[in-house]
Amino acid sequence: MTAAEYKKRIDEALADCFLTDGDYPCAGLAEAMRYSLLAGGKRIRPTLVLEFCRISGGDVREALPVACAIEMLHTYSLIHDDLPCMDNDDLRRGRPTNHVVYGECTATLAGDALQAEAFGTILRSDLPAERRALCAGILADAVGLDGMCGGQFLDMLGEGKALTEDELTEINARKTGALLTAACRMGVAAAGGTPEQLDAAARYGAAIGMAFQIRDDMLDVLSTKEELGKPIGSDAQENKNTYMALLGEKVCMQRIERLTAAAKDALQQTYTDTGFLFALADSLASRRS
């Protein structure tokens, strides 16, 4: 299956989520949830779920709720990142951010509800009970105290301080890498894969996650508002700790090349059908948005 085919399947499944009629009392909240969930994006995380499920011997159709769940979780994080108390951004994927359209309270609740529905979507799926439980556990670990939320907290503590590369990497391994790693592992878990496959998926996810963050830092300097669909230059304006500021463009590209090679190497001993994931790693390394 191609990336475009995966995206189409994921977008169609997400479009069926949180549909309501006009008499539903919480229709306004569902509308706010759908506004951000269906705002577009490359659907990298759910695509990773489906592809790792496929190459681990699973049924992609059965893993689709898990793929949708991680996109719900990711969307929650974006809504909350954009809030005035966090990054205070007014543009996301080329559209006004959720709180600009619906207000801070509704946006906050939309994010909260998407996080809860992500776990519900996994647990209500038709996967065997042990696979559902493992997928939910992987996602919880990636998002909670030692995952994405912990990374956001460390990022907040680092504001106004000059961080070392090791300190920055610890933040971003949680803030960005944890959810990408979870996507890979959840795909294996949905397929009922082996411990060796889970380990290979984790190493691949960690490597592309770090490369993804470094590229993100570069694009905030090198890209355009039109390409990114959000303001650029905000990292420098807010004096944020980034790889671009710490290392410069040349060293950042060297780090990305090394991490992309490591991601590919992580799969070599366990998987043979690696063409899609190799191409994905390459495309993330050179992306412009």
> Is 70 exceeded by the pLDDT of residue 224?
no
> Is 70 exceeded by the pLDDT of residue 233?
no
Number of domain units in the chain: 1
Burial 86-119 (b: 16+ CB within 10 A, else e): ebebeebeeeebbbbebeeebbbbbbebbbebbb
Q: What is the radius of gyration, based on Cα positions, of the chain?
A: 18
The CATH number of residue 178's host domain is 1.10.600.10
pLDDT band at 2; cut points 50, 70, 90: very high
pLDDT band at 172; cut points 50, 70, 90: very high
**Containing structural domain, residue 101:** 3-285
Q: How far apart are CA 34 and CA 47, in angstroms?
A: 19
pLDDT in tens, 207-217: 999 999 999 99
Q: What is the mean pLDDT of residues 80-92?
A: 93
Q: How far apart are CA 144 and CA 174, in angstroms?
A: 9
Q: How far apart are CA 155 and CA 241, in angstroms?
A: 8
> Is 70 exceeded by the pLDDT of residue 77?
yes
